């Protein structure tokens, strides 16, 4: 199948918000080329063996390229493409009201599915998070060290590999608070990495949900790769709104989304969380931190900590009412 490849020239701060906006428009995948992701990685000499040397030339570049894909079936003619481009430019404009978006240049071309499905692999390599988490791409052989919790990942067309600040902060919080036998909900699960980490940290039951069917598929595949299918289930649903999950009482809810969605989610998540249960939220730009904190407090949570990395924050709270 052919896809319309739409390239957006932007900056790191806008990546997560734009990714969410494009998925809302029905994108079949979002590909991100951000040189800063490489700078976050383990700098030991051997680790660089996994990266194409040509990519290292881009490290001084501030610009991020986002490639968004829509099938020809979804965008069948020039009129439909022009309408889609208008919506994409509007989404960029909306994000620019509260985040820097760089030049915001939009370019289009046609691409075959097999041309881009594997293109991102050159950027993704083993890296460490928290105290014990070691994330390894599924196509790379890498030795683990004693005490490592190994997570094998193939992000495919789903968002959330662990390299982004928001995902890494959520992983660090999960490693700190998940206890043996806990029930954990991952709302907006993306590649499934947060639910897999929770299971490997001792959770007895994990439910990950996403509204993007590609994310649900990729997350399910990653769950199988990590041999936690008996602990982790992935569903195509809105957990906070679905009646099918109304009786769940979780020990931990994690939501790595964006500020506006978390503000809406905070009161809805109360019915899914045990009193005293933890609520981990990220995907929040620093400029929206106070808005999210107020929403969390007003919904009956006690804020325990606010972590910051780059332009993002992660809020750990606990349900008290």
Write the pLDDT tens digit of every residue in 133-153: 888 877 777 787 888 899 888
Q: How many domains does the chain have?
A: 2
The DSSP string of 56-100 is HTTTT---EEEEEEEETTTS-SHHHHHHHHHHHHHHHHHHHTTS-
What pLDDT does 45 receive? Answer: 40
Q: Kindly state whether residue 240 falls inside one of the protein's structural domains.
A: yes
Residues 81, 163 within the same domain: no
What pLDDT does 47 receive? Answer: 41
What pLDDT does 175 receive? Answer: 94
User: Residues in the chain with pLDDT < 70?
Assistant: 1, 28, 35-61, 111-124, 155-163
What pLDDT does 56 receive? Answer: 47
Domain residue limits at 188: 159-319
Residues 175, 72 within the same domain: no
Q: Kindly state whether residue 176 falls inside one of the protein's structural domains.
A: yes
pTM for the predicted model, two decimal places:
0.68
CB atoms within 10 A of CB 124: 24
Sequence-distant (6+) residues with CB within 8 A of 41 are 47, 125, 127, 163
Task: Select from 58, 92, 118 the last residue of a domain.
Answer: 118
Query: Taking a C-beta distance cutoff of 8 angstroms, is the pair 287, 316 a contact?
Result: no
Helix, strand, coil proportions of the chain in percent (round to 5)?
35, 30, 35
What pLDDT does 59 receive? Answer: 47
Q: Kindly state whether residue 202 falls inside one of the protein's structural domains.
A: yes
Residues 78, 193 within the same domain: no
| Three-state DSSP class for residue 321 | coil
CB atoms within 10 A of CB 295: 19
Residues 71, 18 within the same domain: yes
* Residues 3-28: b if buried by 16+ CB within 10 A, e if exposed: bbbbbbebbbbbbbbbbbbbbeeebb
Residues 166, 59 within the same domain: no
CATH of residue 48's domain is 3.30.70.120
CATH of residue 256's domain is 3.40.50.150
What pLDDT does 125 receive? Answer: 74
What pLDDT does 50 receive? Answer: 41
What pLDDT does 119 receive? Answer: 59
């Amino acid at each position: 199948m052919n896809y319309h490849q739409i390239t957006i020239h932007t900056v790191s701060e806008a990546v997560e918000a734009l990714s969410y906006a494009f998925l809302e428009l029905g994108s079949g995948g979002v590909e991100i080329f951000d040189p800063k992701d490489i700078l976050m990685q383990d700098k030991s000499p051997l680790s660089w063996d996994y990266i194409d040397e040509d990519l290292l030339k881009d490290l001084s570049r501030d610009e991020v390229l986002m490639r968004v894909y829509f099938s020809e079936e979804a965008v069948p003619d020039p009129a439909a493409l022009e309408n889609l481009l208008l919506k994409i430019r509007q989404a960029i404009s909306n994000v620019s009201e509260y985040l820097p978006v760089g030049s915001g240049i939009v370019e289009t071309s046609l691409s075959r599915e097999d041309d881009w499905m594997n293109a991102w692999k050159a950027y993704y390599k083993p890296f460490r998070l928290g105290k014990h988490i070691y994330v390894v791409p599924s196509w790379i052989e890498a030795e683990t060290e004693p005490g490592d919790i190994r997570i094998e990942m193939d992000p495919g067309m789903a968002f959330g590999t662990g390299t982004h600040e928001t995902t890494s902060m959520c992983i660090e919080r999960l490693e700190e608070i998940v206890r043996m036998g806990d029930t954990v909900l991952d709302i907006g699960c993306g590649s499934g990495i947060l639910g897999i980490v929770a299971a490997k940290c001792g959770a007895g039951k994990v439910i990950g949900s996403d509204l993007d069917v590609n994310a649900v598929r990729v997350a399910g595949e990653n769950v199988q790769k990590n041999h936690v299918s008996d602990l982790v289930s992935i569903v195509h649903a809105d957990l906070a709104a679905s009646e099918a999950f109304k009786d769940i009482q979780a020990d931990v809810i994690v939501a790595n989304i964006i500020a506006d969605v978390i503000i809406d989610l905070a009161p809805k998540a109360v019915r899914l969380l045990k009193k005293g249960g933890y609520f981990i939220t990220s995907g929040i730009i620093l400029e929206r931190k106070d808005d999210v904190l107020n929403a969390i407090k007003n919904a009956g949570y006690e804020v325990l900590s606010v972590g910051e990395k780059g332009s993002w924050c992660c809020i750990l709270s606990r349900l008290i009412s």
